[in-house]
Chain A
Amino acid sequence: MPSSAKPWDAIRAQDIIASHAGYQGALLPLLQAIQIEFACVPEQVVPLVAKALNLSRAEIHGVLTFYPDFKRSAPVGPVIRLCVAEACQARGGRQVQARLEAVLGCKIDGSVNSMGVALEAVYCLGLCASGPAAIVDGKLAARLEGVRLERLIERISA
């Protein structure tokens, strides 16, 4: 969440690296811890991680670009992650997507609208019997239809 995102801090980053470097298969948990701290994996951290884990920067780049969770810059506003998978489609998910895209004025490809709201696709949140479902800034929302959808739209466009 943007409000809690901390600015780059090399000492803090080194602390996180040091506390994870001893893990077996440390790279993912380490990058995840970095992202929790800075709301993204800043470019400056890559050489530090490479050195600590004895990896090349290319290997780290490969991992960062493979996994959709890793962000290269911190979100500027609220992030809406709408489920676009089959079970939500069957409950009207495509219509919710079209509605959100229209209201926000941005496509569901992670792009950010003029208000700084980002719309992202997620493939299943395990809410398949109570879709359409989304996570809005980390908070779960289910049965996004009728009043519940309108309330969500009000909240994000406020």
Chain B
Amino acid sequence: MSVRIFVPADTAAVAMGADEIALAIELGARESGIPVEIVRNGSRGHIAIEPLVEVETAVGRVGYGPVTLADVPGLIAAGLFTAGPHAKRIGRPEETAFLRRQTRFTFSRCGLTDPLSLDDYRNHGGFAGFERALRLTPSEIIDEIDRSGLRGCGGAGFPAGLKWRTVLDADGPRKYIVCNADEGDSGTFADRMLLEGDPFTLIEGMLIAALAVGASEGFIYVRSEYPHAVQAIRRAIEIARSSGLLGETAGGRTRPFDIEVRVGAGAYVCGEETALLESLEGRRGQVRAKPPLPAHSGLWGRPTLVNNVLTFAAAPFILAEGGGAYASVGYGRSRGTMPFQLAGDIKFGGLFETPFGLSLEELIDSIGSGAATGRPIRAVQVGGPLGAYFPRSLFGTPLDYEAFAALEGLIGHGGVVVFNDTVDLLQQARFAMEFCAVESCGKCTPCRIGSTRGIELLDRIAAGARNAENIDLLSDLCDTMKVGSLCALGGLTPYPVLSALTHFAEDFSATRESGSTS
């Protein structure tokens, strides 16, 4: 019997040398004459201990982390293959506070299984949802999604069941489903982790959605900045196809269904669903005016269901366990769990799947254990580059779509970026405008021109020129962008700008010290 060793192939582990570590362990085992099987699993999401090397023992898996290449000889000498003691030994990973406190519905398998093993997937509850969906009518599948209260995880939080039913009810000989894996928000990496660590969950979710809406073809649009994710999902699709889960027979359905992966080309705006459809059709990623909704007229004018990776990936749990089980946790109208992503200056960052309703304070101070640098935390940006900056006085806010909307903020795709006291919120506001100017598709004027005027205004404010007047003008400009832009890029860029201005006014005053406030 060979010893099973787990070394994640997740981007976050690979960027810290996991490939070289895996190779060194394999060579070391050969030299010691110990037969080993190296499994390249996904990440469990506890990024502070990545690369996390695990060894399977009779009493469960024992972890070592964060491991460096230089640690490997010492680890082997200390008896890695029998889970021997070592300074980097952390015991059972699932018992660490960061992992123990999570409620994993969508990410239940991520980090545990071999991402490309269908047997592993099945042995960990995979395909139970799809098998149940095969016994239901399309409308019954969507009833289950409705009962779960699932909302689109891409950012807008639109009720998933309603969207699915709109596509089901749309007439058309051909319908598409499109998975938006163009995860461009800084501070987010949940889509990437799932694509790399448990791709069959996404495939199963898309199979369920295809059954529900009557689609024959699916696309996954992955950003080019995620080369490992592209490779992982492509290989998983090949495996699913060769075992009959995709293609003509599509897992025992009467209708064929297949999935194709398309790769983005560096444009953030393609994460907007209509720009994404334009890009898939082979054009510039320019936003379309709505209506018509993609659900009625989407890809090549056909009814199209566009959802984020996490939305599709929630479906297998909901179908397997029932919509009620999913909805039994949550807060207000935000039901179920959200895989939040804790990033920036935080001691324990990573993926934290938890029911909605946890406060920012608990997430940052208790789970994240404060700033990695040990400095005081001054601001948190939730929801990516279009999300608001919150000061400590708002850290009591529960993570809930409505609670954040009431404070002119958003949950978005669940990214939480922590900034310490050296942050200059005027510079962050300027960056928001700059990002909008760089990434604007150019179709509507408030976004295309407004963002550049915003940069100029913020530079003038930074220089201390006629501050009150320029701040008024900036607020006006933000109003115009909010109500006049065609999509969320121009429409939500004012959120980080205005929140910085409102909650951190001292950084915009005429007497501000230039640069950092520390």
A interface residues (Cβ-Cβ under 8 A, vs B): 24-29, 31-32, 53, 59, 62-63, 66-70, 83, 85-91, 122-131, 133, 138, 140-143
Question: Is the beta-carbon distance between B267 and A86 smaller than 8 angstroms?
Answer: no
Say whether B463 faces chain A, with CB atoms less than 8 Å apart. no
Question: Is the beta-carbon distance between A126 and B349 smaller than 8 angstroms?
Answer: no
Q: With both chains docked as a complex, state the minimum distance between the C-beta of B152 and any C-beta of chain A, in angstroms.
A: 20
Q: Which partner residue on chain B sits nearest A30 by CB separation?
A: B282
CA distance A93 to B431 in the complex (A): 13
Question: Is the beta-carbon distance between A143 and B344 smaller than 8 angstroms?
Answer: no
CA distance A93 to B344 in the complex (A): 10
> Which of chain B's residues 209-267 have a Cβ closer than 8 Å to chain A?
224-227, 229, 262-267
Question: Is the beta-carbon distance between A68 and B267 smaller than 8 angstroms?
Answer: yes
| Chain B residues in 8 Å Cβ range of A143 | 16
Q: Which partner residue on chain B sits nearest A55 by CB separation?
A: B282
Q: With both chains docked as a complex, state the minimum distance between the C-beta of B389 and any C-beta of chain A, in angstroms.
A: 10
Q: List 29 A-B contacts (CB under 8 A).
A: A25-B282, A28-B262, A32-B265, A63-B282, A63-B284, A67-B265, A67-B284, A69-B266, A86-B381, A87-B343, A90-B344, A122-B225, A122-B266, A123-B268, A124-B184, A124-B188, A126-B225, A126-B229, A127-B189, A128-B344, A129-B48, A129-B346, A129-B350, A130-B15, A130-B16, A130-B50, A131-B343, A140-B11, A143-B16
Contact string against A for B residues 41-53, beta-carbon threshold 8 Å, 1 for contact and 0 otherwise = 0000001101000
Say whether B341 faces chain A, with CB atoms less than 8 Å apart. yes
Main secondary structure of the interface of A (DSSP, over half): loop
Say whether B439 faces chain A, with CB atoms less than 8 Å apart. yes
Interface centre among B11, B300, B435 (most CB of A within 10 A): B11
Q: With both chains docked as a complex, state the minimum distance between the C-beta of B198 and any C-beta of chain A, in angstroms.
A: 15
CA distance A66 to B286 in the complex (A): 9
| Chain B residues in 8 Å Cβ range of A88 | 186
Q: With both chains docked as a complex, state the minimum distance between the C-beta of A49 and any C-beta of chain B, in angstroms.
A: 11
Q: Which one of B279, B282, B343, B350 lies within 8 Å of A90 (CB-CB)?
A: B343
Contact string against A for B residues 349-364, beta-carbon threshold 8 Å, 1 for contact and 0 otherwise = 1100000000000000
Interface centre among B12, B15, B265, B441 (most CB of A within 10 A): B15
> Which of chain B's residues 1-49 have a Cβ closer than 8 Å to chain A?
11-12, 14-16, 47-48
| Chain A residues in 8 Å Cβ range of B266 | 67-69, 122
Q: Which partner residue on chain A sits nearest B16 by CB separation?
A: A142
| Chain A residues in 8 Å Cβ range of B331 | none
Q: Which one of A59, A91, A129 lies within 8 Å of B12 (CB-CB)?
A: A129
Q: Which one of A83, A122, A128, A131 lies within 8 Å of B415 (CB-CB)?
A: A128
Say whether B437 faces chain A, with CB atoms less than 8 Å apart. no
CA distance A138 to B224 in the complex (A): 11
Q: With both chains docked as a complex, state the minimum distance between the C-beta of A22 and any C-beta of chain B, in angstroms.
A: 13
Question: Is the beta-carbon distance between B186 and A124 smaller than 8 angstroms?
Answer: yes
| Chain B residues in 8 Å Cβ range of A90 | 343-345, 417-420, 423
Sample of 11 more A-B contacts, CB < 8 Å, known A86-B187, A131-B344, A142-B15: A25-B281, A32-B265, A67-B266, A69-B265, A86-B417, A89-B428, A90-B419, A123-B186, A123-B439, A128-B187, A130-B47
Say whether B183 faces chain A, with CB atoms less than 8 Å apart. yes
CA distance A32 to B264 in the complex (A): 9
Question: Is the beta-carbon distance between B265 and A87 smaller than 8 angstroms?
Answer: no
Say whether B490 faces chain A, with CB atoms less than 8 Å apart. no
Q: With both chains docked as a complex, state the minimum distance between the C-beta of B93 and any C-beta of chain A, in angstroms.
A: 16
Say whether B192 faces chain A, with CB atoms less than 8 Å apart. yes
Question: Is the beta-carbon distance between A123 and B15 smaller than 8 angstroms?
Answer: no
Q: Which partner residue on chain B sits nearest A53 by CB separation?
A: B282
CA distance A124 to B47 in the complex (A): 16
B interface residues (Cβ-Cβ under 8 A, vs A): 11-12, 14-16, 47-48, 50, 183-189, 192, 224-227, 229, 262-268, 279-286, 300, 341-346, 349-350, 372, 381, 385, 415, 417-420, 423, 428, 431, 435, 438-439, 441
| Chain B residues in 8 Å Cβ range of A129 | 12, 47-48, 189, 341-344, 346, 349-350
CA distance A127 to B435 in the complex (A): 19
| Chain A residues in 8 Å Cβ range of B262 | 25, 28-29
Q: Which one of A62, A91, A123, A142 lies within 8 Å of B344 (CB-CB)?
A: A91
Q: Which partner residue on chain B sits nearest A59 by CB separation?
A: B283
CA distance A44 to B107 in the complex (A): 47
Question: Is the beta-carbon distance between A128 and B189 smaller than 8 angstroms?
Answer: yes
| Chain A residues in 8 Å Cβ range of B285 | 66-67
Q: With both chains docked as a complex, state the minimum distance between the C-beta of B1 and any C-beta of chain A, in angstroms.
A: 34
| Chain B residues in 8 Å Cβ range of A32 | 263, 265
Q: Which partner residue on chain A sits nearest B261 by CB separation?
A: A29
Q: Which partner residue on chain A sits nearest B343 by CB separation?
A: A128
CA distance A70 to B341 in the complex (A): 30
Q: With both chains docked as a complex, state the minimum distance between the C-beta of A38 and any C-beta of chain B, in angstroms.
A: 16
Question: Is the beta-carbon distance between B192 and A126 smaller than 8 angstroms?
Answer: yes
Question: Is the beta-carbon distance between B185 and A124 smaller than 8 angstroms?
Answer: yes
| Chain A residues in 8 Å Cβ range of B47 | 129-130
Do A68 and B11 form a contact, CB below 8 Å, given A87-B187, A127-B189? Answer: no
Q: Which one of A62, A124, A126, A141 lies within 8 Å of B284 (CB-CB)?
A: A62
Question: Is the beta-carbon distance between B188 and A128 smaller than 8 angstroms?
Answer: yes
Q: Which partner residue on chain A sits nearest B227 by CB separation?
A: A138
Q: With both chains docked as a complex, state the minimum distance between the C-beta of B230 and any C-beta of chain A, in angstroms.
A: 11
Question: Is the beta-carbon distance between B188 and A126 smaller than 8 angstroms?
Answer: yes
Do A130 and B417 form a contact, CB below 8 Å, given A28-B265, A87-B187? Answer: no
Do A126 and B226 form a contact, CB below 8 Å, given A67-B265, A87-B186, A90-B345? Answer: yes
Question: Is the beta-carbon distance between B188 and A125 smaller than 8 angstroms?
Answer: no
Question: Is the beta-carbon distance between A128 and B349 smaller than 8 angstroms?
Answer: yes
Question: Is the beta-carbon distance between B349 and A130 smaller than 8 angstroms?
Answer: yes
Question: Is the beta-carbon distance between A27 and B282 smaller than 8 angstroms?
Answer: yes
Q: With both chains docked as a complex, state the minimum distance between the C-beta of A134 and any C-beta of chain B, in angstroms.
A: 9
| Chain A residues in 8 Å Cβ range of B418 | 90
Q: With both chains docked as a complex, state the minimum distance between the C-beta of A16 and any C-beta of chain B, in angstroms.
A: 15
Question: Is the beta-carbon distance between A140 and B14 smaller than 8 angstroms?
Answer: yes
CA distance A143 to B264 in the complex (A): 26
